[in-house]
């Protein structure tokens, strides 16, 4: 697979380009609300491929009421008895919403299959039915955008070691992550089966080389913006109203004697 060549993007250049894209995301947000659009963005990929960082870069300057991030935990005992897609459907967007799945129903094609959490028959049935379900969604007016972030072996190892040695990132490393590292080629084969079965005209996969996290984030956001036919919505004119008179009321005096947070900084 073709990967970005040359030096990794410097933070100063990254911040400048990201700010420009985040301004466009704000324009997109207003259009989504105005047009009543319904959009789903799916982020899949290997562990430590950079999904979380990309989602944070995409959502840090927009409203969580419009850009909703869904990152579901392992299914409960009750959810295990439901239809496989059932717990995902309840999070799908209403008008004026973009729902971002940090991992999705494609768990069935990846971790469930590789780790034996589903039977071969359940895995095969998912690959057969998923394109039909996604066709139903897109024909119903939902725009579905699917990203696969692909990180190389050496870069994944470097990121895992960084997590092991950094107390601020150790929470990112789970026993399942370590097992995915061990089963690299099993996940590669599962990825290939998934792409072969579910890369369709109505819901294609977009592959993102992510050895350079900063470039991957920018490329993802720019590509999302290119796929959605949004227009800039003229902003409403806003003026601050005059405050009502306080009369004899002193709103600061009532705070005297309360427990204030120590001013250590």
Domains of the chain, residue spans: 11-232
SS3 content of the chain, % helix, strand, coil (to 5): 50, 10, 40
Q: Is the pTM of this model over 0.85?
A: yes
- Asked if residue 202 lies in contact with residue 134, where contact means CB atoms within 8 angstroms, the answer is yes
- The H or E element spanning position 117 is none
DSSP assignment of 211-242 equals SSHHHHHHHHHHHHHHHS---PPPPPP--PPP
| Per-residue pLDDT tens digits of the chain, which is 265 residues long | 544 456 788 999 999 999 999 999 999 999 999 999 999 999 999 999 999 999 999 999 999 999 999 999 999 999 999 999 999 999 999 999 999 999 999 999 999 999 999 999 999 999 999 999 999 999 999 999 999 999 999 999 999 999 998 888 888 888 888 899 999 999 999 999 999 999 999 999 999 999 999 999 999 999 999 999 999 999 889 999 999 998 999 999 999 989 999 999 9
Q: What is the pLDDT of residue 236?
A: 86
Tokens representing 241 are 């109203």
- In this prediction, residue 6 carries a pLDDT of 62
The two tokens of residue 60 are 């840090």
- What does the pLDDT read at residue 7? 78
Q: Which CATH superfamily is domain 11-232 in?
A: P-loop containing nucleotide triphosphate hydrolases (3.40.50.300)
Which pLDDT does position 126 carry in this prediction?
98
């Amino acid at each position: 697979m073709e990967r970005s060549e040359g030096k990794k993007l410097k933070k100063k250049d990254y911040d400048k380009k990201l700010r420009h894209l985040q301004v466009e995301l704000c324009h997109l947000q207003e259009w989504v609300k105005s047009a009543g659009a319904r959009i789903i963005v799916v982020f899949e990929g290997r562990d430590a491929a950079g999904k979380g960082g990309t989602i944070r870069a995409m959502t840090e300057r927009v409203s969580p009421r419009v850009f909703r991030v869904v990152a579901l935990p392992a299914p409960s005992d009750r959810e295990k008895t439901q239809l496989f897609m059932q717990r995902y459907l309840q999070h799908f967007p209403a008008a004026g919403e973009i729902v971002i799945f940090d991992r999705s129903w494609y768990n069935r094609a990846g971790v469930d299959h590789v780790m034996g959490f589903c039977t071969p028959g359940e895995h095969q049935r998912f690959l057969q039915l998923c394109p039909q379900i996604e066709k139903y969604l897109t024909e119903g007016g939902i725009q579905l955008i699917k990203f696969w972030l692909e990180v190389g072996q050496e870069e994944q190892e470097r990121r895992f070691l960084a997590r092991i040695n950094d107390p601020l990132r150790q929470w990112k490393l789970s026993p399942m992550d370590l097992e995915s590292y061990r089963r690299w080629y099993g996940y590669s084969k599962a990825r290939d089966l998934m792409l072969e079965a579910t890369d369709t005209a109505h819901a294609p996969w977009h592959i993102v080389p992510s050895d350079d996290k900063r470039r991957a984030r920018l490329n993802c956001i720019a590509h999302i913006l290119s796929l959605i036919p949004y227009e800039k919505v003229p902003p409403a004119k806003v003026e601050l109203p005059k405050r009502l008179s306080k009369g004899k009321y002193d709103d600061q005096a009532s705070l005297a004697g309360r427990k204030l947070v120590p001013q250590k900084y």
